[in-house]
Amino acid sequence: MLHDHASRKVAIIGYNRIPFARQNTAYTTAGNQDMLTAALNGLIDRYHLAGELLGEVAAGAVIKDSRQLNMTRECVLHTTLDKRTPACDIQQACNTGIETAIYIANKIALGQIEVGISGGVDSASNVPLVLGDPLREILLAARRAKTFGQRLGALSKMRFRHFRPEAPMNQEPGTGLSMGQHTEITAKYYGISRADQDAFALKSHQNLAKAYDRGFFDDMVTPYLGLERDNNLRRDTSLDKLSQLKPAFDKTAGSLTAGNSSPLTDGASCLLLASEEWAQAHGFPVLAYISFAEVSAIEYVENKHNLLLSPVYAAANMLRKSNMRLTDFDFYEIHEAFAAQVLAILKIWESPALCREFGYDEAFGTIDRNKLNTLGSSLATGHPFAATGGRVLATMAKLLSEKGSGKGFISVCAAGGMGATVILER
């Protein structure tokens, strides 16, 4: 919790991201550092921060090269911020963009810093390739060898097959299943139909198209490498087109497809956070305040359907601490990793019996669907893992700023059976 008598209010006063690009399209040659630096430079230009010494910049990437010891600091050094601005990397799978915001917000709330930037970036195209463990072990043994003969002996064990590179896998180490395979189990467990998933996905694309058409993102996105808009958006999609797609994870009895699952995506996003005093002194209007945040985890190795359901716990803890109900909000942003995962969480919250499986006495309530992901979410924009949190927080902050008042509820699920929820208020 950020909000109590000992802490200061934390304001979101700025945001920027680059357009999100489907894997292997516009950003194939751009690495994490390139994209995050571009997002930061866009933020710095928009809010005239050149030469400013900030309290800290925190960002992260889920798929990271081991040579990038502190990627965020390297990015900061390639911007016009004062070079004395410190920076750090944080990683918590798809929660990363939320966790970096919580980290900066807590430092502001505690009075340790006045202003900072949070962010996240991921490339699914330009990924580090590693050589497998057998070759690594041979080379390390050769390096430890004391004599030329020993070194030769070690190196003689090398085989052609050892040189086959391995790309990062979208797999849970504890189960060997991908996120999509886990969510397929979730969809079956909770009886989430293919038709409902496709209808939910269609709405995401329609809402994102409408948001672009009304200029909502004009001051939120800076063009990058020739791209001006998220290129995963399908304006021409339809229920008919979505219904023709084949199952992606369970080929025989599956309901998850490429159309109702978020695609592998490249992109970066960042947020400018500050104390009220700093915002006022620098003439920045407050878009929204981060008032509560909660991170949770769930067991998913035994109960494989649980992988992306941890936000149920995070939401319960956060609502209790904030003394609010699930139905108290003007807007809801729930990260669309898969249509099935959002629909499962909504179903759990609506059902007393399902809430009891999580240890709660009563249902959380029914969210007004007209207030949910009103501008499209990850199914339409794409999901560059660490960049999604910043996108969602920025969208909610601007929605509340446009309205002039209100409360927003955010929920993000993450690999490793984790989740995060946040309340923004204005």
Concatenated DSSP letters of 189-233: HHT--HHHHHHHHHHHHHHHHHHHHTTTTTTTB--BTTB-S-TT-
- Residue 68's pLDDT is what? 85
Tens digit of pLDDT at every position of the chain (426 positions): 455 546 899 999 999 999 999 999 999 999 999 999 999 999 999 999 999 999 999 999 999 988 888 999 999 999 999 999 999 999 999 999 999 999 999 999 999 999 999 999 999 999 887 778 888 899 899 999 999 999 999 999 988 888 887 767 778 999 999 999 999 999 999 999 999 999 999 999 999 999 999 999 999 999 999 999 999 999 999 999 999 999 999 999 999 999 999 999 999 999 999 999 999 999 999 999 999 999 999 999 999 999 999 999 999 999 999 999 999 999 999 999 999 999 999 999 999 999 999 999 999 999 999 999 999 999 999 999 999 999 999 999 999 999 999 999 999 999 999 999 999 999
> Helix and strand tally (H, E) in the chain?
14, 12
Catalytic status, residue 75:
no
Q: 3, 182, 335, 383: which is the annotated catalytic residue? A: 383
Please identify which of the residues 94, 182, 270, 335 carries the catalytic annotation: 94
Domain 179-215+291-425, CATH homologous superfamily name and number: Thiolase/Chalcone synthase (3.40.47.10)
Give residue 230's pLDDT: 98
Residue 335 among the catalytic residues: no
For the chain, helix, strand, coil in percent to 5 are 40, 20, 40
SS3 letters across 336-362: CCEHHHHHHHHHHHHCHHHHHHCCCCC
What's the predicted TM-score (pTM) here? 0.94
182, with CB counted inside 10 A (0-12, 13-18, 19+), is buried
Q: How far is it, in rounded angstroms, from Cα 2 to Cα 424? A: 11
Q: Is 355 a catalytic residue?
A: no
Could you tell me the CA-to-CA distances from 279 to 104, 285, 309, 403 in Å, in that order? 15, 7, 36, 20
